Amino acid sequence: MKNSNCPVCATGNLVEHNELDAINYKNQSLSVEIEYSVCTECGEEMIVPDQIKRNDCRIRDAWRKADGMLTGIEIQALRKQLNLTQKEAANLFGGGTNAFSKYERGEVIQSESMDKLMRLALEKQPIVVLDWLSTHYGIQTGRTGQYGNIIKFKSKKVDSEFEMIDFNDVRYG
Ligand SMILES: [Zn+2]
């Protein structure tokens, strides 16, 4: 059969599925939505490389939430409230050129000090903190003086009741 993308039987096609998986983390059980694929012919369940990458990002977000750290979407919201591009945020706060795209996608978890600095910049007079950073480190953002109308960031508390699903027989492809 043409267009088969099943690496096991080489005849079927892979269909994507999502399930909530219970992940153990520091003696807690975290619910994470996990993507996987099922073959239409042989019924084999597998997690393909792209799915592994996306699943890993979701798992890192769950860890961050459990640790009281900003999640990817929260970092993005905070950065936008500070009116900074990813590059400008990395220049001001540090972490390397692609730091913010990695934090926001969940590829990398920010350090605790980075987490605190970001919250500080937003919650305590952003104009003072950002101006201090840009003046002190000689960084031009072209946005000086635009921080006055920033709305305070409040981390949303999501109350979620997830079902625990046994996900043990899914293999990594
Ligand atoms: Zn198959």
Query: How close is the Cα of 140 to the center of ligand 1, in Å?
Result: 55
pLDDT confidence of residue 140: 65
**Alpha carbon of 62 to those of 9, 24, 145: distances in Å?**
34, 11, 35
CATH number of 72-136: 1.10.260.40
For 14-63, the pLDDT digits (tens) are 999 999 999 999 999 999 999 999 999 999 999 999 999 999 999 999 99
CATH number of 1-67: 3.10.20
Would you list the domain boundaries of the chain?
1-67, 72-136
| Dist CA 79 CA 89 (whole Å) | 7
Query: How close is the Cα of 48 to the center of ligand 1, in Å?
Result: 13
Q: Which residues contact 108 (CB under 8 A, 6 or more apart)?
A: 99, 102
pTM for the full model? 0.70
Query: How close is the Cα of 23 to the center of ligand 1, in Å?
Result: 27
Query: How close is the Cα of 46 to the center of ligand 1, in Å?
Result: 10
Confidence label for 73 from pLDDT (cuts 50, 70 and 90): very high
